[in-house]
Structure 1
């Protein structure tokens, strides 16, 4: 079967967004953990940015990335808690064509063994917009590692069975031929 059919790994172009009023490139350990994991897996870092936790700044950058046909996935870290400044769900959910309800549920399930019932304070969520999957995780570095290692990695791998997100994404012929 062809790579697009789901049997072979296809390197995706993934953008990483850190949502924070305090992080910089020098201390963004969460964003860096995601970048390291996605590149070690064989994916390509398409873009990386840090944006203040502001609804309109979040929407602006994510809308730009959703509209970019060269970006297949977006992973954001931060802004998913319950403080007054945590606005990622409110900012990004209206952009989705379809919600991925199971993403937050599975993330909280796997986090339960690591942080106990505190996992209920995570508003991790996901969706698909313009054939781009958007997955939003908490801002802690450990949460990013858990999300990638136990959920995201498999779902962004075309060879993962029985299903994954790759068939739902805007994948170019060039990406499919990269690993034939």
Structure 2
């Protein structure tokens, strides 16, 4: 297997574009080579098989949609509050809008994971770790709400993102920022130590 990290990343980014646009059936080594603008056969030099490619796409999508750590550090200088949570959730939505292909590829990976047990195990592990990191971050930062509140917020935002990516006209009458603000205000207590 070839080890040029820049070429591997370019191939994975091309694979994400193909997966988002064509779905799982359209994801072939030849399609990835074409999307990346490289000679036919290049993708097969970097990935053992389609399962290997899918697993590595999963890792790359997480890299692409992860928040910028420096930006998070700057934002977290603010006092813990619902408004701070609103800002953090709005940034998730902004990242989704900036990298729609990355999020669509993740949706395709979720569907493919229902048919491929190894991918299902790896995706479950990765997504469980991300959710637990989010819960831990929220609690450690003393943001309003408890662990269950964070999970409920995660589920609600995931549903909004799913509709936004797949049937955007459903939410067209509503502004995403307003929905995020209202959802957060209704779900979380006003202050970190408030009890409902």
Q: Which TM-score applies when normalising by structure 2?
A: 0.26
Q: Which has the higher strand share?
A: 1
Structure (1 or 2) with the greater helix fraction: 2
Greater RCO, CA 8 A, separation 6+: 1
Compute the TM-score of the two structures, normalised by the length of structure 1.
0.28
